[in-house]
Amino acid sequence: MEPTAATILSSLTNPSITDSDRDLISRAFDRAKELHQGQKRKSGQPYFFHVYETALTLARWGMDGTTVAAGLLHDTLEDTKYSEKELTKEFGKEIAFLVSGVTKIGRIKYRGNQAQAETLKKMVLALSEDIRVVFVKLADRMHNMRTLSYLPLDKQRRIATETAEIYAPLAYRLGLGTVSGELEDMAFPFLHPEEHRSLKKLLQAVLPHGETYINRVKEKITEELAQQKISVIQIDSRVKRISSLYKKLKRHEMEIQKIHDLIALRIIVEKVEDCYAVLGLIHSLWPPLPGLIKDYIALPKPNGYRSLHTTVICLDNKPTEFQVRTAVMHHENEYGIAAHWAYHEAKGGEKKETIFADAHRLSWINQLKQWQHEINDPDEFISSLKIDFFKDRIFVITPKGEAVDLPAGATAVDFAYAIHSDIGDHCLGAKVNGRMVQLDQELQSGDAVEIITQKNKRPNEAWLNFVKTRHAKARIRSVLRSHEVLPQKTLTFVITALDRVGLVKDISSIFSTQKINLISLESSPPAHGSLVTIKAVVSNEVQNKADALALRLRSIPTVQRVNYRHN
C-alpha cells in the first residue's frame, strides 16, 4: 500500500492531537519523502517506507504530534543532506532535539561485552531529559527487527543482541509490555536459532490439545459468569511467547509439561469490582494453587502493569492460569504510554513539558538520575545499569504501602539503601511480612519489608557479601572507608524463646533502656515448633554488665534460655 499522510493521521490514538499537530505531521511527511527520494533499504523497499512505518507505530502508541513528526524525520540527519540547522529552522527546536537524540543513540553499537560507557550513559541522560527520544528509537527498532533477515549475518546478531538486552527491557520498563515481548520474540530466532526451532516444534505438539481444552474451560466459565450476571467484555486466550517460555524453562530447569501458563485465559471486564468478582467466581469453581494469586491491581508492577492472575486446578485437574483485568488496564498493559503520560503547556511559557500522570510509576528514572550523581566512574555506572536496571526485577512494599523496585535477589539491606542511604547505614534488623529475618535473606516480590534502625549503627563489612544493588555496595564501601573501623570485640547474646508478637521489641528495649547500642539483632526462623533463636550482638565494652543483661533478658515473657559469649 502506498504510504500516505492520511493513513498516519487516521491512526493517531492520542486524544489531545490538535489541527496544528496534523499540519506538522503532514509537513514532516512531505519533507521526509522528498529527502529520502531514491534511497533504498537492504530489503529493496524505498527507504521512506521505514520512516513511515516508524511514524505509524508512534501514532498507534498514542504519542503526541511532535513525536510522530520526529518519527518521520528520524533518519534525515544521519542519512540525507539535511542539516540540524535546517531541521531546526523548518520544524523547531523540539523536533530537532528528538531527531538528534535518536541519531546519537543510533551511533551506539552495543555488542554485549565491552562497556561503551560514555555513549550508553549519554543515552540514559537523553532518556531522562526527554523520554520521547526513546519512544522514537523503539518504534524505529520495531521496523528494523521486522526486516532484520535482509542484513548480513554479523549485523543480524549484533542488532538482535542489542534489541534483547537493551531495547526490550527498556520497552518493558516504560510500560510497553506488548512491544517488549514482540521485540524479544523477533530477536530470539537470531540469537538462539536451534532452541527456537525445537521450542516451536514442542509448542506445535502441545498446543492443539491445549486449544480444545481451553475452549472447554472458556465454555464453562462463560456459563457461570452469565449465571452470576457478571458482564464480561471479552474472554480470550493468549499463548505464551516463545522467548518468555525459553527464559522460564531455563530459569527453572523445567519440562514443558510443568509450565502451567503455556496458554492462559484472559477475562476482560468493565469495572475493577468485576475483576475481583470474577476472581472469586473462579476460586469458587476450582481451588487456587497457593502462592500463585497475584493482585497486580492493588499493587501494580513497577512498569505499571495491572491485572489479577491466578492459577487453579481446573478441568481434568489441570493447573490453568487466568488473567482478569478491565478493558482500560488491558489497553494500558499493551500500549501504556498515552495513559501514563500527560502533556501540558507550562504556564506562561511555550515550552511543552512532559509529565507523568502518575509519577511514582516510573520513579526509576529519578533513581537513575540520582545514581549518576553518586557514581562517577562510567564503567561502574554501566555495570550498575546492567545489574540494577536491565535484569529481572522484584518489588516489595514499605510499611506505608509504597512499592520499591529492586533487582531479583535483593536483600533487606538493599531495600534499606533503596529507601534512603541513612536508613541503610543505620540498619539493625529487618522484618518481612511481620517476622524478623536475617539481613541476608533474599526478598520476594510482594514482601512487606520494615527496617529497624538504630542511631549509632554502622554498615557491616559482611553486608558486602550479600547485597545485590550497586548503590548499596558503593555506599557501604564509602562509609566503611570513611570510618576505617577496626574489628570490634563483641558480646553475643543467644536468646531462645517462644515466638510471639512484640518479642523482638521487648528484647531491643532491654538494651536501649541500658543505653547500650546493638550491633546486630537477627533471628532464625523457628526450627522446631515455634521456638526462635535470636542473636543480639553488642560491643564487648559492656562485658561487666553481661550477667545482669542476661538476667533481664531471661525475665522477658516466653524467653526460655539466654546464653552469651565473647568474640
For residue 453, what are the β-bridge partners? 427
Distance in Å, CB of 72 to Mn ion, minimum? 11
Range in contact with Mn ion (rule: CB under 5 A) among 73-81, 261-269, 299-307, 508-516: 73-81
Interface with Mn ion, residue 94, by CB under 5 A: no
Q: Between 171 and 418, whose beta carbon lies closer to Mn ion?
A: 171
Cα–Cα distance measured from residue 510 to residue 549, given in angstroms and rounded to the nearest whole number: 8
In the complex, residue closest to Mn ion by CB? 140
Q: Give pairs for 402-405: CB < 8 Å, separation 24+.
A: 402/360, 403/299, 403/300, 403/302, 403/360, 404/449, 405/302, 405/363, 405/364, 405/367
Q: Between 53 and 405, whose beta carbon lies closer to Mn ion?
A: 53
Catalytic residue among 34, 78, 129, 334: 78
Cα–Cα distance measured from residue 87 to residue 80, given in angstroms and rounded to the nearest whole number: 12
Query: b vs e for 17-28, b when ≥16 Cβ sit within 10 Å of the residue's Cβ?
Result: beeebbebbbbb
Minimal CA–CA distance to 300: which of 376, 213, 405, 377? 405
Distance in Å, CB of 177 to Mn ion, minimum? 23
Helix axes 378-388, 117-129, angle to 10 degrees: 60
Binders of Mn ion among residues 127 to 166 (CB under 5 A) are 140
Q: Between 140 and 261, whose beta carbon lies closer to Mn ion?
A: 140
Residue 522 appears among annotated catalytic residues? no
Site string for Mn ion, 450-469 (x = CB under 5 A): --------------------
The DSSP-derived string for 341-402 is EEEEEPTTSS-EEEEETTGGGGTHHHHHHHHHHH---HHHHHHHHHHHTSS-EEEEE-TTS-
Strand 263-269 and strand 232-239: the pairing is antiparallel
Range in contact with Mn ion (rule: CB under 5 A) among 75-83, 353-361, 362-370, 474-482: 75-83
Would you call 496 exposed, middle or buried from its count of C-beta atoms within 10 A (0-12, 13-18, 19+)?
middle
Q: Between 103 and 320, whose beta carbon lies closer to Mn ion?
A: 103
CA distance readout (Å), 478 to 425, 459, 472: 11, 10, 10
Helix axes 132-146, 117-129, angle to 10 degrees: 120
Q: Between 140 and 321, whose beta carbon lies closer to Mn ion?
A: 140
Distance in Å, CB of 140 to Mn ion, minimum? 4
Catalytic residue among 19, 30, 53, 79: 79
Distance in Å, CB of 50 to Mn ion, minimum? 6
Residue 425 appears among annotated catalytic residues? no
Distance in Å, CB of 57 to Mn ion, minimum? 11
Distance in Å, CB of 156 to Mn ion, minimum? 16
Distance in Å, CB of 77 to Mn ion, minimum? 11
Cα–Cα distance measured from residue 170 to residue 167, given in angstroms and rounded to the nearest whole number: 5
Q: Quick one: which of 75, 182, 184, 414 contacts Mn ion (CB under 5 A)? A: 75
Please list the active-site residues: 78-79
Q: Binding residues for Mn ion, per CB under 5 A? A: 75, 140
